[in-house]
Structure 1
């Protein structure tokens, strides 16, 4: 009931916001390539709103039949867009498996062979045949393997009990920014954004990929990076600010635009904001005024997210939850007793700090990035098991806090993008369930902190938002996940998001020959084919393999988004 009341509240708030004034973003009419504008996405003359999913590992599958079947199952669900890693960097050529680029001692080499970019060719060709669009992410902020002294590495007393999964099992084991920094002999994570030699190397790889698929309508967009920010596994220099990250996005977006006029360029940030940071691309009024409202109607105005609004929303949410708990008889008193009566201190709890998602401490100002002229749309992510989007409310359970704060985060992200006048996509959302807890690996780690063989390190796991040792009850059960995913999709639809993407898809019965090592979970529900082993696709705690309930929720969400296109 509380979640329903909260969902109704934030939906009502958002319904008061009108669409932002139009802002031109390279319209292409009835082109077969996806284009973006203030009205959203369009392709072949029709608008496109979608539900999508993530399959970062898809190009590493050994069997083309598996790739085809995976894409067909997704298409049959009504999903229109998938998001994959269009990079796979290594510092040493592996004996087995897929790799796209060797980055070694300041030099780079592209692998154009059958275990290289030809695997990516297969994915793009099959996606087009299945009527799917592909968001191509070009690098990753997270690559924890490069530095054994990083904070995300388990302590020496635990290392002996931790076994790293096979290469390419985890989303952060595909190379990325810190691999470049390490192999170019530098120390700080943010050197990736500023060092000329690294920039040249990354632009060379980007040019190879963009030019290769220049004329493919299956490419939805070029995503510059997954979750770019100042901090990574390597240390961060004190000079890295939100402007550092914004300027890199502007430089790379302009570079791709100079090569490719067919596809839009997107940011792949987590959506972190900085309400008080100086802007490189400040929001300014449009040259043409918006039409006057109908008689008797007020002109609605979309404004940027502010610190004051965040504080007000959190205080109001807490008041609503407190009132609901009081009516239900479950109120947890959080004030002081004066003359025998409780006086709440709840409204003062959020008086000053707004937290890392909106204070710029990550070095990311997604609104400023979105306002870059060559950026076609923005992104944000919802992973409440790894990020804290608001202070916990004592009148809600840990899982309810995660879901409620995520719904507010969706609403705030939609408002921020509407103020710019460009589309925004929730490019990844997920809740870790109790049944998936043993497989849960945070994006900046290399091992599962809650697995039985590493339980000793749970109290010092070091991932974002971790404040204390958790128990399984802090994580969603299957019913919570179903309710949460339904709420995320409904909020995304009502808030006007252009797309909502679940993280991540999964499948069992995937073929693995003896020569490949990127998949490791044995699937005992199927009989192995001759000469091969059947395995499950990678699961970092979010896979929905063999989960028809979630797949049905995604299907229903896709139908609802399509109806509102």
Structure 2
């Protein structure tokens, strides 16, 4: 279970009233978040090591929420399982923090969605079968339901996140028919966001995606981040009724290890372009957007680059 910790930075007067939700629940109003009818800005941090484990624990004290046996899983609600997540929410509430809870991970670290593939369709050679196989969809939804029903009355939950970094490929390769153009992942986002909303009418819902685009742009036709090959379509995915805000990530050195950044400008300039592109997309549909993860190395680059990235995010009313 990936957690994002969101800490209130300030509250200001608002001219509008938030939609009818229980007190303390975060809502949206156009491109901004609100808390009890007032603008809500935050500073966030990711806790990747709170991720769910889908495997049988082999270490004393290991935290895990699912144990897989053959083609099904058993929920762990005990002291090494959801009791610990209960405690996390209780402590967060004490400090007026809010959490984004992520239901699974595209990558196998700390479990991940490929364990559904390994156990339900062992021997499957492609990653994207997870998004279309009816048995996997039902299994994922059953897990989602247990979490949502456990915490849907908690104002400490900022939002539900469908998956961390959904792509057509993972540790397994992509199948030939998965792309943004085929709508494999967008259709999955639509299906799951509608399902989550049927369980919980009040909490926000988001994708957890990296923000890949599906642009018809001849200069970027070979670029994985823009040509739809990753499987997402940020502009389109953000239009879904039950996707309340967008997320995207920013790791230019990992994505362009040869240092050959399209559009020029090096890592910093490319990052500024990426931030502005997502701000523009979110503004078009009138929804907030969160720069959910970002990073460069070494530390000397961080002190040079981060201020300009963060400033542009602030100027375009991002969460971060």
* Class of the TM-score when normalised by the shorter of the 2 chains: 0.7 to 0.9
Task: Label 1:176 to 1:238 Cα distance change in 2 as closer, same or farther (>3 A).
Answer: same
SS in 1 for 2:43: strand
Give the Cα separation in 2 of the matches to 1:176 and 1:49: 30
Q: Deviations over 1:261-304 (max 9, x none)?
A: 1201111110000023xxxxxxxxxxxxxxxxxxxxxxxxxxxx
| Preserved contact between residue 389 and residue 405 of structure 1 (Cα < 8 Å) | no
Corresponding residue number in structure 2 for 1:495: 316
The correspondence for 1:220, drawn from 151, 158, 161, is 158
Corresponding residue number in structure 1 for 2:229: 361
Task: Label 1:491 to 1:95 Cα distance change in 2 as closer, same or farther (>3 A).
Answer: same
SS in 2 for 1:386: helix
CA shift, 1:352, in A, is 5.9
CA shift, 1:390, in A, is 11
CA shift, 1:33, in A, is 0.5
| Highest RCO, 1 vs 2 (Cα 8 Å, sep ≥ 6) | 1
The correspondence for 1:381, drawn from 246, 249, 258, is 249
Give the Cα separation in 2 of the matches to 1:35 and 1:390: 41
| Preserved contact between residue 89 and residue 99 of structure 1 (Cα < 8 Å) | yes
CA shift, 1:480, in A, is 2.1
Larger Rg: 1
Corresponding residue number in structure 2 for 1:411: 276
CA shift, 1:29, in A, is 6.5
Asked if 1:272 is matched to 2:272, the reply is no
Task: Label 1:266 to 1:390 Cα distance change in 2 as closer, same or farther (>3 A).
Answer: farther
Matches within 5 A, 1:60-79: none
Q: Deviations over 1:33-57 (max 9, x none)?
A: 0112314111112111222111122
TM-score normalised to structure 2 length: 0.87
Corresponding residue number in structure 2 for 1:301: none
Task: Label 1:176 to 1:51 Cα distance change in 2 as closer, same or farther (>3 A).
Answer: same
Q: Structure 2, unaligned stretches of length 5 or more?
A: 1-17
Q: Structure 1, unaligned stretches of length 5 or more?
A: 1-25, 60-84, 144-172, 277-306, 309-350, 434-477, 501-565
Give the Cα separation in 2 of the matches to 1:266 and 1:352: 27
SS in 2 for 1:197: helix
Give the Cα separation in 2 of the matches to 1:141 and 1:117: 22
Matches within 5 A, 1:186-265: 186-242=124-180, 243-265=183-205
Corresponding residue number in structure 1 for 2:14: none
Q: Deviations over 1:212-252 (max 9, x none)?
A: 11111010000000000101111222121220100101111
Q: Deviations over 1:421-450 (max 9, x none)?
A: 2111011111232xxxxxxxxxxxxxxxxx
Corresponding residue number in structure 2 for 1:31: 23
More strand by share: 2
| Preserved contact between residue 127 and residue 174 of structure 2 (Cα < 8 Å) | yes
SS in 1 for 2:58: coil
Give the superposed CA RMSD: 2.2
Matches within 5 A, 1:78-157: 85=51, 87-90=52-55, 92-96=56-60, 97-143=62-108
Give the Cα separation in 2 of the matches to 1:238 and 1:490: 40
| Preserved contact between residue 220 and residue 226 of structure 2 (Cα < 8 Å) | no
SS in 2 for 1:251: helix
TM-score normalised to structure 1 length: 0.50
Task: Label 1:123 to 1:402 Cα distance change in 2 as closer, same or farther (>3 A).
Answer: same
Give the Cα separation in 1 of the matches to 2:261 and 2:152: 49
Task: Label 1:120 to 1:126 Cα distance change in 2 as closer, same or farther (>3 A).
Answer: same
Give the Cα separation in 1 of the matches to 2:222 and 2:287: 25
| Preserved contact between residue 271 and residue 381 of structure 1 (Cα < 8 Å) | yes
Task: Label 1:479 to 1:247 Cα distance change in 2 as closer, same or farther (>3 A).
Answer: same
Task: Label 1:367 to 1:390 Cα distance change in 2 as closer, same or farther (>3 A).
Answer: farther
Q: Deviations over 1:448-477 (max 9, x none)?
A: xxxxxxxxxxxxxxxxxxxxxxxxxxxxxx
